[in-house]
Every structure is written in structure tokens, then in C-alpha cells.
Amino acid sequence: MFSYKITCWALVFLLILSALVFLTPEIYGGEQDVVVSDDLQVIETAAPVAVKADTAAVVAETAKSAVLIDSGSGTVLYEKNSHEKLPPASITKIMTMLLVLEAVDRGQISLQDQVTISQRAASMGGSQMYMEQGEQQTVETLLKGMAIGSANDACVACAEYVAGTEEIFVEMMNKRAQELGMKDTNFVNTNGLPVANHYTSAYDIGLMSRELLKHKVAHEWFTTWQTTVLVGLANKEQTEFELTNTNRLIKLYPGANGIKTGFTQEAGYCLSGSATKDDLTLIAVVLGCDTTQHRWGETMKLLDYGFAICESAVLAKQGEVLGSIIVEKGSPTTMNAIADSDISLLVKKGERDQVTTEVILFDKLKAPVKAGDKVGELIALKDGQEVGRYTLVADSDIDVAKLHEIYIRMLRTLI
């Protein structure tokens, strides 16, 4: 009798499995390719339309070259000789800081890692933290030294820690520049000390400045006026070294939030300056000014010009959920579509309410899905015409459901 029951249950199980094979496509929509839903999920918002402003006036009169860029959209609002190749001096450190912070993001290093200062790093001239060979500093302290005090020794120390040697790190800098579309740039060192064939342009500085501003952790350093760090060998008398921000823009201009100064006799007075008002963040770059006063003045005129003619509205915040999607054979069965970064558009003042947005999501996806995979788009429209399109991504990993999960779901559809 017992073996008879087992045989019966086995037959029932085989029948269920057979049904499962045929019913699974019905449960999950079959094996069709991923398609965009015909029944679009639409979210209407007040949103601006991308626009490029223009002027015939010379705003940055005393600068050799200049550019004004909207940080959110990358729109160029003003340019003067913006692609001229010029020495950037310490503005070079923007790329150095960017690569170090990207290494932190990858998990390759952490801000609290201890870096041993090499003889080469300790021997750097110019602005520095006056560290000694063999002493240890955290990555965060070294980044503060770059951002606030423009420390040349901190640049070399971080470069050696990330890449092994400064030369390899410089190769990484040039590779990253190419990835960012910086076509007017060639780096030879990490700190901008005078050397042959080391150059960039105002436009390229704008590109890497925009990328660096995405790292929120650095904003506090950019806007710190003064702080102290402990330097020297641990087994000797250590001293408190005062870092004073080289960027007076944070004192002179309301809403200023960075980014980096530069000066050598060859480069003149240079600045990549940034400021935020309401939802609009602008980046103003001036190169080759003849005095430091002109450096601040020209930057502030550029920022004033940008804030006078433009405004920005945020369409979506990073991580904001804009819809959900069924995942075929997924565990779990649904996932959220989110914005992978802050999404904003630039508009002339007064045009903020003229644009609507649509969220288009894939109707169904098949497991597995990885967090960050594209699952839809946010589209901005004005008068029925598309003016912006942005990727939406999966908010989490979705694995393929196990057989018992599919079995339970099938039973639920039959009950």
C-alpha cells in the first residue's frame, strides 16, 4: 500500500511538471524578446527644456581662455578660446583627485587607508604639506591637502598608492581624460608643476570639474576655509600644519562650492570655480589671467551671467523610483526602475513649466537582471517634441526563480 501511494504521488508530480512546462510561458508571458510596453507608464511633471544661451559680449575680458558650463546638463553657456591648449598649473589636481575618489568608489582603496610617504613625494616643491619620508597619512587627509592647500606632495603620495608609481598614474590620468572627451589635454605629472608638454584647455577642465563634482564627499573639502592636519614622523615630534584654502571664491561669491586654483609664471592665474543657486550649479573656468584679482573677478562675472539668464529644474533625483516592472521567472517577480543619477534640464528663465516628461519602461524583463541594467527611459517633451532622453536602471539584482518558487506560483494561478 505504501509503495502504491508513493507511485501515485510520483505520477501526480510528473503530471504537474508536465503542466508546468506548458503553463510557464502563459504565466510569464512566453519567451518573446524584451519589448517596450505599448501601454506606457507616464508621469507628468513640470520640467524645463534644454537650451543653449549665447552672447556676443566678451565676459571674461582679461582671461586668455574661459568657459561657462551648466554642471547638470553639460551645456556650454559661454566660451572664449575654450579649446586653446594652455598650461593648467595646479588645476591638474582635479584629475588627480577624481582618480583617487574613483578608486575609493571601486573599493580598491578606502579614505581611511594609511599611505606611507615616499622620498619622491616628500621632495616635491611648491605648495605642500611638508610631510617627511616614512610618515603615514590617510587617503582622506591627503585629499584634503590637495583640495584645500593644493599640496603637491599629497598628489604624488596618492598617485603612488593607487597605481604603484606616479608614471603609471599619469597614464591613468590621460586614459580617463580620453574617456571624458578631453581632446585638448596631455598630462605629464599629477600636480601641475611646470614641465614640458603638460597642457589642457578651459573646456576640458570644465569636463573633469563636472565629473569631480559628482563626488559629494569632496564638497566639504572644497568649501573648508581653514583646517589643520598633523604631520611628521610618529616617533618624532609632530606638528599641526594649517591648511588654508587657496580658492578665495568661497569667501567672495554666495553659493560658491569649489573647485581648484592654479598659478605658475607660465600659466598665469587660473581657476575652475563653481557655485550653486537653487537647483542650478554652474562651472566657470578661466585660464591665463594676469592678476589674482582678475581671476576672481572674471569668474564671478561668468557666474553672474549664467545665473541671470538660466534656471534649472530637477526631473528626478538619483535613486528615485519612477515605476516597476514584472520580471519573468524572477525572484522576486518585480523590480523598480530608478534614475541612476540626478536628472535636470537647463532652461531660460520663465520656461520652466513648458515641458512634460514621460517614463517608458520595458513591459517585461527576463531574469536574471543586474542592478544598474537599463530598464527604461525618462523622456522630456516640449510641444510634443522630444528635448531630452535619460536612462532608467534596475534598482537591484533579480535572480532566476528556483523550481519550487515557480511551482508555487503556478499552483496559485490554478486555485
Q: Which residues are catalytic?
A: 90, 93, 150
Q: What is the Cα–Cα distance from 245 to 130, expressed in whole angstroms?
A: 16
List phi, psi (to 5°) of 16.
-65, -40
Q: What is the Cα–Cα distance from 201 to 205, expressed in whole angstroms?
A: 6
The DSSP symbol for 224 reads: -
Q: What is the Cα–Cα distance from 312 to 205, expressed in whole angstroms?
A: 22
Concatenate the DSSP letters of all residues of 305-360 into one string: HHHHHEEEEEEE-TT-EEEEEEEETEESSEEEEEESS-EEEEEETT-GGGBEEEEE
Determine how many CB atoms are found less than 10 A away from the CB of residue 334. Answer: 11
Burial of 153 (0-12, 13-18, 19+ CB in 10 A): buried
Is 325 within 8 Å of 362 (Cβ atoms)? yes
The DSSP symbol for 57 reads: S
Please, where are the H alpha helices in 46-165? 93-106, 119-122, 139-149, 152-163
- Residues contacting residue 24 through CB under 8 Å, at least 6 positions apart: 329, 406, 410
